[in-house]
Structure formats: C-alpha cells, structure tokens
A and B are shown apart, each in its own frame.
Chain A
Amino acid sequence: MTKMTSREQILAKIRVNKPSEKVVLPTNLDWENTAFDDNIQRSASQRFAEVLKSIGGEAIEAADFDFIKKEIDTIHYHHVINLLPNLEIQGKDIREISDAHDLASVDLAIIEGKMGVAENGAIWLDESCFGGHRVLPFITQHLIIVLKKENIVSNMHKAYKRIQSDLFSIGFGLFLAGPSKTADIEQSLVIGAHGARSLRVYLV
C-alpha cells in the first residue's frame, strides 16, 4: 500500500469527522437598512465622508479637476505619481518604473477609486488602479484617491454584488479605509504605521 499524501490524509480525516447535519447557506445577504446611530437621513456620499473622517481620512467635494489641481498644487511634493490622465499634475511616469522597490521614494500617489462604501468609508481598488504596481497605495507616503460620487454604495453587501464578477478575473484588489494606522502602543492611535500617512478623497 502506498503512503497517503498529507493532502489525502487531511481530507480523509475531515470526511470521517465532519458533522453530518447539513446547514443551508443563507442567501439574499443584504439589508436595506443602513440607519446609523443618530437616524438622520443623509446621502451615501455624505455618510461616506463622515465615516472616512472618523477613521482618519478626509473627503472633499470637488466641482472639477481644476479644483483638485489647485488644491494639490498648494503643497510641494518631491516625488509624485499621478495616474489620472485628466488631472494635470506633473510627476514621474510609473511606466518607467520596473522594480516596485523604486517606489519607496514616492511622496504622493494620486489614483482613481472604483467604488466607495458609505457604512465604513472604504474604497474598492483593483489592479487597474495601481499603474502596474500593487504596492503603490501602500508604499507612498501620502495617498489621494479621486472617487465618483455615483459610485458610492451604502453597505458591504451591495459592494460585493458590484464587484462579484470582477473577483473571478482580477489578480488583486482591496478595500482601503483611511490612512495606515496602529494602536499597538498602549492603545494610543497613531496614523502612519507602514502604509500611507494620509488619505484624502476627492468626490467628483
């Protein structure tokens, strides 16, 4: 008799030991109600902005790209990567960067978000948002995301409905909610652990 592989051993033992009663998977996983603590009616984008603020980020309504450009121009960033073709901000062309490690010196990355979630201030980003380098939104010192207001959904159930089919084909994606943070030293909240030190979202 040949020795069973670890895979066969584990699966065999699971088959013997698993419970026989079948619990049916719950379906229609959504809840319309996204009433919040104070029951005040808000639009999804208003709620998104509030929650984002509470988790250390910042959301600003922008009438157009000129407004965003003017705002960004007020601060001098040494090394900028701008992935929005319609936003005239000078920076380095990410296509010229072959090794992701070279992004370590990026001060500001400006990218477009695919979808926002009002209940938790998270933004869905996938591989099409990073200019070919997944590490970009993490390694940059500061991050600006431009998000269309119409792409903000109320909760995570609706969010997953939207990206469901994408998740069968993309290589990587994430919900990003606010700047990097930690409270590992005496529960004191510190913004800027390993990822971006700040997150600003322009709602257009």
Chain B
Amino acid sequence: MTHSLTHSQASDTFNKDESRVDWHDESLWFIRQKRDKAAFAIPEWEELRESASQIKENVLANMDTYLLEFEQKAQKNGIHVHWATDAAEHNTLVLEIMQKHNFKKIVKSKSMLTEECHLNPFLEKNGIEVIDTDLGERIVQLRNEPPSHIVLPAIHLKKQDVGDTFHEYLGTEKGASDPQYLTEAARQHLRGKFIAADLAITGVNFAIAETGGFVVCTNEGNADMGAHLAKVHIACMGFEKIIPKIENLGIFLRLLARSATGQPITTYSSHFQKPRAGQEMHIIIVDNGRSTQLGRADFRNSLKCIRCGACMNTCPVYRRSGGHSYHNAVAGPIGIILAPNLDMKQNNDLPFASTLCGSCTNVCPVKINIHEQIWKWRQIVTQEGYAGFEKTQGIKLMNTVLSKPKVYRFVGKMGREIMRFAPFAVNNSLNKWFKNREMPDAPKESFREWYMKQKM
C-alpha cells in the first residue's frame, strides 16, 4: 500500500486542532492509567510478564514443531487447516471458500491480520459483502477509514462524528450523539447482519498446540454472535499466535485485558475446539513476512506481541499524532517495529516517530524491547539509504562536529552567540525544534569554560 504523507506530515495535519489533540492525548492516557491500576493490584504482575515472555521465546524457537502439533490436533478435531505465505494467498483462500458454497455475506469480528492483508477491499471487489461487527470497526468501515488503534478502532473520533456517520448510514436522528443511543442503533443494525450472514470470520488471540483449539477474546460478543450462527467459520491467524499449552492461557488471559483496557478479563474469552454439528470450521495460518522477521535476530521478538495496545496508549508520540499517521494496519510503537519488515521503503519514516523514551517497553506484557528495536531500525533504515537527504546530511554534520573537540567548541560558541544576539536566526519556522516550543536562553559560557575558570 502506498501512502501520500509521512508520519510527520500526517501528524502536522492532526495537530492543527489543538484542543482535539489534547482530548485524544488525554483519552489514551486515561486508558494507560486504568492499565496501571489493574496491573498494580496483582502482586505477581512482574512474574506474569516474565513468564509470558519466556513462553513466547520458547514459541519462537519451536515455532515449526508447535504449528505442526496444532495442525494435527485441529484436523483431528474436524477443523480444516490452510497455510498462506502472503496476504494475496490468504485473501484468495477466503474467497475460494465463499465461492465453493456460493456465499455472498460475511460478518467479521476484529482481526488485525485481515486489515494487514486488506481482505475487505479484495472481497468487495469480488462481489462479497463484508460487515465489520466490532462497533468501533463498523464505525470506521462506514466512514471508509482504517482503524486508528488495534484495540480501540475509533478512538480518534468524537461522539458527534459517530452520530453524523450513523445518521447518514443507519438513519439515527440528526445531531444525536448519545453513546447509549448510538450503540443501540448499531446493535439493531448488526443483529440483522448476524442473522443474515453465511459465513463468519474471526481473528485468533491464542492458538493452542496441545489441543488444536483457539481462543478469541471480545467484549461485545460479536465474534461469537457471528461464529455460532454462520454455516461456516474461518479463523485467520498470523502464525506467531501459537502457544504450547492450555496452562499458558492462565498467564496470557490475566495479562491481556488488564494491559489493554484495565479490565480484569474481556467479557468473552471463547475457546473454539471443534465445529458445531453441521458447521464447517477453517483456520488459515498466515506468514506474510513473519518468517523473515523471525530470521532478524534484533527484531524477531516483535513476534511475541499479543496485540494489547498498551504501547500505543502510553506513547507520547502516538497520543499526539493519532493512529492514522502511521499508515500501517498496526500503529504506534509496535507498528513501528513491525512495519519496516513488511516494506522498508514505504515505512522508512516510522522508526523516527518516537522519542525513544522506553515507556512502551515498560508496559509491554510480554517484555518486547520495543524502544531498542525502534532505535535499531533507525540504523538499518539509514544504512539502507532510506533515511532521506536531510537526516543523512544532518547526521554526517553531527559526526564531524562531535568527533573533533576544536570544531565542537567553536560551533558551540557560535551557537550561543547567535542565540543571544540574533535569536531570530533560530526562532523561526526553518528550525523544527522551534515548532510549538520556545528556545531556551543561551548561557554566556559553556561548562568547559566555567570549569577552566574554577580551576584557576
């Protein structure tokens, strides 16, 4: 997918409405605080994170074995298992299942994988109706936008925006913006879609090797409404969703919702093991670049991610730039380290959309070293020549200045003099550090100059 704006350009647009940015920032920070409250109430929280991390590292090293065990058990349970090397193959598999049954209508619960594969436009092009049934996803689908957050797809919208959209598409009263009223309208609208659907697609939160079953977590109940009514259920999973044992679920379900929204558990944690009588169940195991990422020693543990979104809620850049500015299905810090693997050229701007403050790493329930990986991607993007002229030249100049003490002292002195006597030379729009900030007062002398004086 091509995108027209870089992260910083899109953030500029997002930042034009200052009060709205503040609101976005505060909404997400509020969720971060709820996460803290939930986490701090569990004395063994850090041990849970450590165990989750170990389980996921064990998975990375035994990925093929666990996938094969899962396939064998799932088939024994009567589930059809498919493998797709890339997005196109995944999408074709879904279409073929639809065509085999001569089906036209799909209800889909949240699946970031199908966003990554751009499944909806592909199916629509082939004459199939796909309805996203998660409320947030339905809202953005009606607005023809991608989700801006992996857990809270419509977090960038105000209730008035949703009211306008529902008025246009669902016939709610003009100007109505009460969340209760709007949610009820969506419930009625989507009940009709659940009843009429031929096939249901769900994502997969965890696939368990030892049973061949998989777990899907929602708060709304939309995955279950779809899957238990439709004649055919397809569950789509990136292969990294595999875990070895049932007992591992105890760890992950304790961490997931608390990290995501501060809830003790999602309302529904559904364990699908076998199709119901008369139903057909499929699982599509997707690679789409994951096996390449597995081979990158510095980045492979991004595949430990359980998609809770905690890194996004805490990120000072995400909170003030919005999910859409990342032009990738997964935004925020975790998106930054996943996207360059999919397309380094298209996503060369993302590793720079970070302050490297490390807050993402601190909240990650599976202990991914997110900020370190962002820093490493910066180096690779630059080495590969994708960093752009301005950044490359800037770094070269910095290198000259910082590696030669005399040059450094001279430039430092020049800088101080300019800031003191000709502040307009730095306090202007050419200086990106001046944007939304006042420049600090320049000191009269450097630390070195001061220190030399003290010695005398």
Contacts and interface: CB of A to CB of B under 8 A. Distances in A.
A63 interface: no
A139 B134 CA distance: 15
A18 B61 contact: yes
A116 interface: no
B1 interface: no
A34 B244 CA distance: 25
Contact of A172 (B221, B247, B272): B272
A19 B60 contact: yes
A4 to B, nearest CB: 10
Interface in B72-129: 77, 83-85, 89
B273 A190 contact: no
A120 interface: yes
Contacts of A22: 58, 61-62
Interface stretch (A64-72, A73-81, A83-91, A158-166): A158-166
B264 interface: yes
A138 B251 CA distance: 26
Contacts of B247: 29, 157, 160-161, 164
Contacts of B420: none
A10 B289 CA distance: 10
Given A22-B61, A29-B51, A17 B294 contact: yes
Contact of A187 (B27, B54, B270, B274): B27
Contacts of A164: 246-247
A18 B64 contact: yes
Interface in B197-250: 208, 211, 213, 219-222, 224-225, 228-229, 239, 244-250
A138 B171 CA distance: 26
B136 A156 contact: no
B225 A139 contact: yes
Interface string A158-202: 011100100110111111111111111111101011111000000
Contacts of B292: 13, 17
Contact of B267 (A35, A100, A179, A188): A179
Given A9-B85, A17-B292, A182 B250 contact: no
Given A18-B63, A180-B220, A11 B68 contact: yes
B179 interface: yes
A194 B265 contact: no
Contacts of A157: 247, 250-251
Contact of B276 (A31, A55, A171): A171
A26 B54 contact: yes
B183 A190 contact: yes
Contacts, number: 257
A126 B64 CA distance: 30
Given A14-B291, A160-B246, A194 B225 contact: yes
A167 B30 CA distance: 37
Given A18-B61, A19-B297, A184-B134, A10 B267 contact: no
B3 interface: no
Nearest to B136: A184
B299 to A, nearest CB: 11
B254 A156 contact: yes
A96 interface: no
A17 B287 CA distance: 13
B225 to A, nearest CB: 5
Given A25-B248, A29-B247, 9 more contacts: A19-B297, A35-B43, A101-B229, A157-B247, A172-B274, A184-B153, A185-B179, A186-B27, A192-B187
7 contacts: A22-B61, A23-B61, A33-B43, A167-B271, A173-B273, A175-B265, A180-B219
Interface of B: 27, 30-31, 40-41, 43-44, 47, 50-51, 54-55, 57-58, 60-64, 67-68, 77, 83-85, 89, 133-136, 139, 152-155, 157-159, 162, 179-180, 182-184, 186-187, 190-191, 194-195, 208, 211, 213, 219-222, 224-225, 228-229, 239, 244-251, 253-254, 261, 263-276, 285, 287, 291-292, 294-295, 297, 300
Interface of A: 5-7, 9-11, 13-26, 29-31, 33, 35-37, 51, 55, 100-101, 104, 117, 119-122, 133-135, 138-139, 155-157, 159-161, 164, 167-168, 170-188, 190, 192-196
**Closest A-B pairs by Cβ, 9 of them:** A195-B221, A17-B295, A184-B136, A120-B264, A193-B220, A135-B228, A171-B274, A188-B179, A13-B291
